[in-house]
Structure 1
Amino acid sequence: MSTSRNNHNNAGVQGLPYFTPEHATSPGTPGPKNTALVPTLFKPLTIRGATLRNRILVAPMCQFSTSAFGPETGALTDYHIVTLGHYALKGAALVFVEATGVQPNGRISPNCPGLWSDAQIPALRRVSDFIRSQGALSGIQLAHAGRKGSTAAPWTTSSKPGSKVSARAVAEIGGWPDNVVGPMGGEEWTWDGKPSTDPEGGYWAPRALTEAEIQELVQDWMKAAERAVKAGVDVIEIHAAHGYLLHQFLSPISNKRTDRYGGSFENRTRLLIEIIEAIRTVVPASMPLFLRISATEWHEDTDLGRKHGSWDIESSIRLAKLLPALGVDLLDVSSAGNNPLAKIPMHNTYQVALADRIRTSLRAENLHLLIGAVGLITEAEQARDILEKGGAARIGNGGEGELDKEASAAVKMTEQRDGKEPMADVVLVARQFMREPEWVLKVAHKLGVDIAWPSQFLRVRFPKL
């Protein structure tokens, strides 16, 4: 994007089949005054051949808004242009498309997106092109749901406080109850531990993947990455968190295989490493590659964890030290999701502290891997309240005091502290963007940073400080 124009021509962004104005200054970038005082949160960051205009990223968020049937199955729609495009318009540096299945049965629900077919490239291209036209980078999270697949859109089951958070998607609504897969197979391996016949359960029993199918998975992740490049995506993220398939392979709680993909740390990480290596062979050297993990399952103090062991922060640090040599540029640090019996400590920095610990361990060995922290104050409160009956219904937008806390937390994550390294290099924000698409603009104002607004919104921008 150009930084300035001295004439009165309302120029359009080039290369699009429609007109959208080119912003005089890319939204979300700080102005030229007092640049030395701009917090790191609003400074650009270059990763390989891509440059973030600030350090605030839109994390992938499931929307359950693609068709479950017909030729448009899994393809993004205009809904995604409206929602994701708005985050880009309002200053976010990188906007991720939600978890996108590399295979049809890799979707979380029948209404989740996919990238297993060339037919899905044009719709992704439309979304990516618009995001980029607003000066942001376009990202996609490639995923496979594993044993958490073939569930229904949440609002079809959780309209009442205290109701189930998941329901099994049957074939009649586009589900695949007979083709839910995982490292292990059988009724004892459902995600919630309840048999498929239990009306209180929300998940299907998986069948165990064969080694041949595991190799097909590696190829399908690679092909999906190739399609993402053709669709103009700037950044690819591999989803290995939250109890989805790659996390299922990483964890000794969900992986009791006795072949080369189970047992030892090396075997449980083998599939993930093969996928990373395969993707790196087909994407440009200039393209950043991110990885999202659950840094801990929070099973260190549960009977399940004590019996089987679990994926914990030490496991994540061990994995993180392998990533720079594999070509991963940023580790997106989240937590939990692999079992409903986890004991999650609900405080304001419960995930940020994990990111900090990983980053510190890497720096101590002179290993360079960027770290992304997800889970601001509002995220911690959301996680806490959902565990209480009816809690989700009580979550509001918060007031100005909450925004002060969020802005302060975001700065603390990315700034040096008393001569020490920052806790993270970027922050990834999810739910708060759904509440406030203009979150970047509001945080900048709270911090006293004069950043560029979208050209079309200059008439209503906050007063300059």
Structure 2
Amino acid sequence: MPHLFEPLTLRGLTLPNRIAVSPMCEYSAEDGFANDWHLVHLGSRAVGGAGLVLFEATAVSPEGRISPQDLGLWRDEQIEPLARIVRFIDDQGSVAGIQLAHAGRKASTWAPGAGDGAVPPDQGGWDVVAPSPLPFAGHYPHPHELDRDGIAAVIDDFAAAARRALRAGFRVVEVHAAHGYLLHQFLSPLSNQRGDEYGGSFENRTRLVREVVAAVREVWPEQLPLLVRLSATDWVDGGWSAQDTVKLSQTLKALGADLIDVSSGGMVPDARIPVGPGYQTPFAARVRQESGVAVGAVGLITAPAQADHIIRTGQADLVLLARELLRDPYWPLHAAEALRQSTPWPRQYLRAAPHGSRAR
């Protein structure tokens, strides 16, 4: 079986190892533009040796932002600030990927530490949309139900953002259909109470995700991989389930998705989630086994032996780390030493590397 520091090939792209930076919102952009914070934050994880550096949830439209401080890729002027970061990541031997997202009913909310719930219109808030006019919580915005023209616009926005991502130099794109954001809202019966072809049955509720993935795949080069993040379960009876995730993953594979990034939760504020080390990894393992598509595992993966075990036992093809990489941007370099694996170091840091290490 492969191990944590073996390459992973998806289509025509080979990642240097099985460690990915999970998308983490930094709430540090202005009008959607990346800046020096994003360069240092993301660039340092590439210096630290992550094989894949996924940029945070990047809004495909202004109304698709979670907060006013989200990254965006809804206009051409936003390309070059992202491209600057991509070039640095490439120079470190890592691969840059971007997660494209629309927040739906969880949009127009305060960034952490700035407030709670909806941003008032006089302070920069905006109208939000959803599959049905159901707010996420009482203090969140009340959404408007998307009509067919609005749904078509969402699909077009994802495709247009993917085109811009390609121009920025990204070699991986991920469609965000998890954590209670717009595409997940269409998937879950808890948030989707429509009576048309986008609501009701499994086939109808998954329609928008399938159409978005197909539209992105159409504009994304054949040789480059497309990822989809799914919440494996809502952790609530009557919500989206692990079996639903397996079934949808099979369909997405047929549509050209190359890896399912398996997370969970985010649909309702009161879900009881049994959080613990690797608590979502069994979902990834099930999707991999039953759907036949490559998967990424995420969720309280912190120790090198734990991450290596996930790969060696075939539970996932990729591990995505979030908070552990905030605590230690150089976790991959330290993990290689702990696991007695060889991995290249930045030339500038070789003096601190284990004896015999090679430069990138």
Aligned to 2:18: 55
For the residue of structure 1 that corresponds to 2:40, the secondary structure is helix
Alignment partner for residue 69 of structure 2, among 80, 105, 111? 111
Aligned to 1:238: 175
For the residue of structure 1 that corresponds to 2:20, the secondary structure is strand
Query: Are positions 1:412 and 2:309 aligned together?
Result: yes
Query: Are positions 1:313 and 2:242 aligned together?
Result: yes
Aligned to 1:390: none
One-letter amino acid of the counterpart of residue 156, structure 1:
A
8 Å CA contact 2:117–2:141 kept in 1: the answer is no
Query: Are positions 1:376 and 2:268 aligned together?
Result: no
How much has 1:449 moved relative to structure 2? Answer: 1.5
What is the rounded CA distance, in whole Å, between the counterparts of 2:34 and 2:95 in structure 1? 17
Aligned to 1:298: 235
Aligned to 1:249: 186
What is the rounded CA distance, in whole Å, between the counterparts of 1:191 and 1:263 in structure 2? 19
8 Å CA contact 1:261–1:267 kept in 2: the answer is yes
What is the rounded CA distance, in whole Å, between the counterparts of 1:174 and 1:111 in structure 2? 11
Stretches of structure 1 that go unaligned for 5 or more consecutive residues are: 1-37, 68-72, 158-165, 195-200, 300-304, 379-405, 417-421
Percent identity between the two aligned chains: 48
How much has 1:446 moved relative to structure 2? Answer: 1.1
Q: Report the structure number with the largest CA radius of gyration.
A: 1
How much has 1:257 moved relative to structure 2? Answer: 0.2
Stretches of structure 2 that go unaligned for 5 or more consecutive residues are: none
TM-score by length of 1: 0.75
For the residue of structure 2 that corresponds to 1:372, the secondary structure is strand
Query: Are positions 1:261 and 2:198 aligned together?
Result: yes
With 344-353 and 142-151 compared, the bigger mean Cα shift is at 344-353
What is the rounded CA distance, in whole Å, between the counterparts of 2:94 and 2:156 in structure 1? 29
Alignment partner for residue 280 of structure 1, among 210, 217, 229? 217
Aligned to 2:343: 451
8 Å CA contact 1:376–1:409 kept in 2: the answer is no
Runs of 4+ in 1 over 6 A off after TM superposition: none
Flag the 1:270–1:459 CA change in 2: closer, same or farther, 3 A: same
One-letter amino acid of the counterpart of residue 214, structure 1:
I
One-letter amino acid of the counterpart of residue 319, structure 2:
V
What is the rounded CA distance, in whole Å, between the counterparts of 1:329 and 1:75 in structure 2? 28
8 Å CA contact 1:103–1:116 kept in 2: the answer is yes
| Count of residues paired in the alignment | 357
Alignment partner for residue 78 of structure 2, among 114, 117, 120? 120
Aligned to 2:120: 170
What is the rounded CA distance, in whole Å, between the counterparts of 1:462 and 1:154 in structure 2? 39
Any idea what the Cα deviations from partners look like across 1:308-366, whole Å, max 9, x if unmatched? x210001001111112210000000000000012121223232001111111112xxxx
Please give the residue correspondences for 1:332-411 in structure 2 after superposition, counting only pairs within 5 Å: 332-362=261-291, 367=292, 369-378=293-302, 406-411=303-308
Alignment partner for residue 98 of structure 2, among 132, 140, 144? 140
8 Å CA contact 2:279–2:300 kept in 1: the answer is no
8 Å CA contact 2:6–2:17 kept in 1: the answer is yes
How much has 1:424 moved relative to structure 2? Answer: 0.3
Aligned to 1:400: none
Please give the residue correspondences for 1:19-98 in structure 2 after superposition, counting only pairs within 5 Å: 40-67=3-30, 73-98=31-56
Any idea what the Cα deviations from partners look like across 1:16-54, whole Å, max 9, x if unmatched? xxxxxxxxxxxxxxxxxxxxxx96110011111211000
For the residue of structure 2 that corresponds to 1:141, the secondary structure is strand
Any idea what the Cα deviations from partners look like across 1:241-287, whole Å, max 9, x if unmatched? 00000000000000000011000000000001001111111111011
Any idea what the Cα deviations from partners look like across 1:208-258, whole Å, max 9, x if unmatched? 111110011111111111111111111000000000000000000000000
One-letter amino acid of the counterpart of residue 86, structure 1:
S
One-letter amino acid of the counterpart of residue 413, structure 1:
I
One-letter amino acid of the counterpart of residue 250, structure 2:
K
What is the rounded CA distance, in whole Å, between the counterparts of 2:125 and 2:97 in structure 1? 27
How much has 1:463 moved relative to structure 2? Answer: 5.0
For the residue of structure 2 that corresponds to 1:239, the secondary structure is strand
What is the rounded CA distance, in whole Å, between the counterparts of 2:352 and 2:220 in structure 1? 41
